[in-house]
């Protein structure tokens, strides 16, 4: 079901986060359109994780976050699906993929049994990310790419208004990354999702994001297409992107 | 002996169950600290003039658990260090007070445990705690699991991470305190950790994890009790040795079952 572009979106207005005496973020405005991947880039400590935490409701913030559907009906806070960074997972835990889904979706204790409904829902969720064969596998036995797809499926169960991808590239091989982004693009189309992607991998962002928001100076300094943002002098300067152009020029223009 | 048998049948599944989350949450050292703090709880009870130090032990243990958890959340220092500081201070205080009274020897029984002298009242108390833990395991286990896997994920799913962290810490304090007289301070954290650690080597999902952990705990408990009865060794320690055998046995199986 496609919404007319521009009408369905999550709008963040004048968002600010204060921790003690310091202002971590202020005056953050961002429009995340449905069916688009909006990447959030910035150096370490710029405030990207803080922004995510504010959207997730983990930390208090000023300003507003509102979801509007295709008919421009403002529906209040969006439901958020969060795909966490893989780094802090307890990989040694004898938890199967099904256990993980059941733990968040069902009240039946996972050490006891799983209901048919939970199994079915998990299977459907995993099918969407081409991971149905992983249902009974231990989390620790999955490759980086497989775990990322499982976490993605979990964040989409049930399908949220807004999907947050937190550094999904860390610890993944090139092939896993490619498959992951293909999956995200498919889901973006199928469910008309608004997606916020936080990543340090600028190359990947440049290839897959529809829009890029550059966090700097406690706010979003710039937002636009990858072409606009990655050629802006402020961004080029911050990430030393000019250095690479220089190297490419040295190599005789060979890419 | 009959009472000791019942005691084992109550304590081992309790520890087998609780141990699954103790190991998942890497709280072996924490449980050790709770066990050691029993001495301080007793010391406080003695100073205050209590006949049965059970209550002072319980209160002190719960306060210690809450204190460590609070400092851990507020501080950037490593959990290992924080527990070490709290634990060593508490233990030293307890030993100092108890030895001052001149007769530390009568408290030595808490160090190695005395399961063979468990009474019917004590059994009832253990049974109540087991029922409470079972009830919690049915109602809040799922949330405890998600918190142990990944805190931001748990938070994003509307789970109050801090609440469950404190809840689990207090639960551990209660279980450790209730059982310390029978199992002994020196081995109590092993009893919590070993069955679950052994189960973790071979379990492929949460159900297997629990079944194996409880089964290993019960079997080790019964064998340990019987062996200790005939050899005259401390029951708690003997149980641990049997459990350790299970652990090393399953460790060998782990490679083959890694899937």
Residue A104 contacts residue A116 (beta carbons within 8 Å): no
Q: How many CA atoms lie within 13 A of A80 on its CB side?
A: 28
Compute the distance between CA of residue B229 and CA of residue B222 in angstroms, rounded to an integer.
Answer: 11
- Strand ranges for B60-151 from DSSP E: none
- Which residue in the set A89, A109, A113 is minimally distant from B141, CB to CB? A109
Residue A114 contacts residue A97 (beta carbons within 8 Å): no
State the nearest Cα–Cα gap between A175 and chain B, in angstroms.
22
Write the CA distances from A20 to A10, A24, A110, B73, integer angstroms: 28, 10, 40, 17
Say whether B152 and A82 touch across the interface (CB within 8 A).
yes
Choose among B247, B254, B235, B244: nearest CA to B7: B235
**Minimum CA–CA partner of B208 in chain A:** A111
pLDDT at res. A252: 53
Residue B149 contacts residue A140 (beta carbons within 8 Å): no
State the nearest Cα–Cα gap between B231 and chain A, in angstroms.
36
Residue A183 contacts residue A129 (beta carbons within 8 Å): yes
Q: How many structural domains compose chain B? A: 1
Interface test with B, best of A88, A104, A114 (most B CBs within 10 A): A104
Say if B99 falls within a structural domain: yes
Residue A28: other Cβ atoms inside 10 A: 24
**What residues contact residue A231 under an 8 Å CB cut-off, 6+ apart?**
none
Helix or strand (DSSP H, E) at B58: helix B54-74
Tokens of B39: 């001495």
Compute the distance between CA of residue B140 and CA of residue B80 in angstroms, rounded to an integer.
Answer: 27
Residue B145 contacts residue A110 (beta carbons within 8 Å): yes
Say if B20 falls within a structural domain: yes
Residues of A in contact with B141 (CB under 8 A): 109-111
State the nearest Cα–Cα gap between A115 and chain B, in angstroms.
13
Give residue-wise pLDDT tens across range B110-148: 888 888 888 999 999 999 999 999 999 999 999 999 999
Which residues of chain B are at the A interface, by a Cβ-Cβ cutoff of 8 Å?
A: 20, 24, 137-139, 141-143, 145-146, 148-153, 155-157, 199-200, 203-210, 258-259
Q: What is the mean pLDDT of chain A?
A: 86
Tokens of A250: 């040295």
Say if B81 falls within a structural domain: yes
Say whether A110 and B155 touch across the interface (CB within 8 A).
no
pLDDT at residue A253 above 50? Answer: no
How is A110-132 classified by DSSP, letter by letter?
TTT---HHHHHHHHHHHHHTT-G
pLDDT at residue A241 above 80? Answer: no
Paired sense of beta strands A62-68 and A9-19, if any: antiparallel
Q: Given pLDDT bands bounded at 50, 70 and 90, which one contains residue A69?
A: confident
| CATH for B33 | 1.10.3470.10
Say if B168 falls within a structural domain: yes
ipTM: 0.90
State the nearest Cα–Cα gap between A150 and chain B, in angstroms.
13
Say whether A139 and B149 touch across the interface (CB within 8 A).
yes
Say whether B209 and A94 touch across the interface (CB within 8 A).
yes
Helix or strand (DSSP H, E) at B154: helix B151-156
Write the CA distances from A49 to A18, A22, A36, A58, A128, integer angstroms: 14, 16, 20, 11, 27
Residues of B in contact with A158 (CB under 8 A): none
pLDDT at res. B2: 86
State the nearest Cα–Cα gap between B139 and chain A, in angstroms.
7
Q: What's phi and psi for A96, nearest 5 deg?
A: -85, 165
pLDDT along chain B (259 residues), means of 10: 90 96 93 91 87 88 94 84 92 87 77 86 94 97 95 90 96 94 89 95 94 96 93 89 94 69
Task: Give the domain extent around B112.
Answer: 2-184
pLDDT at res. A3: 39
pTM: predicted TM-score of the whole model, two decimal places: 0.89
Say whether A56 and B258 touch across the interface (CB within 8 A).
no
């Amino acid at each position: 079901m496609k919404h007319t572009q521009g009408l369905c979106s999550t709008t963040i207005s004048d968002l600010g986060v204060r921790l003690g005496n310091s202002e971590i973020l202020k005056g953050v405005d961002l429009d995340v359109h449905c069916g688009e991947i909006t990447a959030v880039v910035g150096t370490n400590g710029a405030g990207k994780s803080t922004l995510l935490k504010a959207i997730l409701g983990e930390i208090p913030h000023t300003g507003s976050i509102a979801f509007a559907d295709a008919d421009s009906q403002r529906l209040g806070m969006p439901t958020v699906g969060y795909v966490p960074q893989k780094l802090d997972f307890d990989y040694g835990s004898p938890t199967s993929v099904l256990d993980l889904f059941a733990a968040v979706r069902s009240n039946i204790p996972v050490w006891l049994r799983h209901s048919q409904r939970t199994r079915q829902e998990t299977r459907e969720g995993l099918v969407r990310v081409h991971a149905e064969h992983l249902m009974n596998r231990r989390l620790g036995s999955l490759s980086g790419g497989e775990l990322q797809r499982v976490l993605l499926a979990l964040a989409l169960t049930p399908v949220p208004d807004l999907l947050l991808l937190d550094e999904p590239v860390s610890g993944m091989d090139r092939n896993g990354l490619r498959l992951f982004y293909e999956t995200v693009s498919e889901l973006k189309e199928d469910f008309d999702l608004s997606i916020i992607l936080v990543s340090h991998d600028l190359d990947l962002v440049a290839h897959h994001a529809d829009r890029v928001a550059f966090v700097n100076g406690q706010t979003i300094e710039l937002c636009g297409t990858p072409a606009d943002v990655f050629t802006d002098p402020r961004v080029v300067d911050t990430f030393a992107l000019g250095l690479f152009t220089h190297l490419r020029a040295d190599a005789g223009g060979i890419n | 002996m009959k009472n000791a048998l019942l005691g084992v049948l109550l304590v081992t599944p309790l520890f087998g169950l609780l141990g699954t989350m103790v190991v998942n949450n890497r709280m072996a050292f924490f449980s050790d600290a709770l066990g050691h703090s029993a001495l301080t709880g007793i010391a406080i009870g003695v100073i205050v003039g209590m006949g049965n130090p059970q209550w002072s032990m319980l209160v002190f243990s719960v306060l210690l658990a809450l204190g460590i958890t609070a400092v851990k959340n507020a501080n950037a220092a490593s959990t290992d260090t924080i527990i070490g500081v709290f634990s060593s201070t508490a233990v030293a205080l307890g030993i100092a007070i108890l030895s001052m009274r001149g007769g530390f020897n009568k408290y030595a029984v808490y160090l190695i445990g005395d399961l063979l002298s468990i009474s019917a009242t004590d059994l009832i108390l253990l049974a109540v705690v087991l029922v409470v833990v079972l009830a919690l395991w049915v109602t809040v286990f799922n949330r405890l699991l998600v918190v142990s896997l990944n805190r931001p994920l748990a938070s994003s799913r509307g789970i109050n991470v801090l609440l469950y962290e404190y809840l689990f810490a207090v639960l551990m304090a209660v279980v450790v305190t209730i059982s310390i007289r029978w199992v002994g301070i020196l081995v109590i954290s092993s009893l919590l950790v070993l069955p679950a650690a052994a189960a973790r080597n071979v379990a492929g999902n949460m159900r297997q994890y629990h079944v194996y952990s409880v089964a290993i705990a019960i079997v080790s408990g019964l064998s340990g009790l019987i062996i200790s009865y005939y050899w005259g060794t401390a029951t708690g320690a003997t149980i641990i040795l049997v459990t350790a055998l299970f652990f090393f046995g399953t460790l060998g199986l782990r490679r083959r079952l890694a899937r």
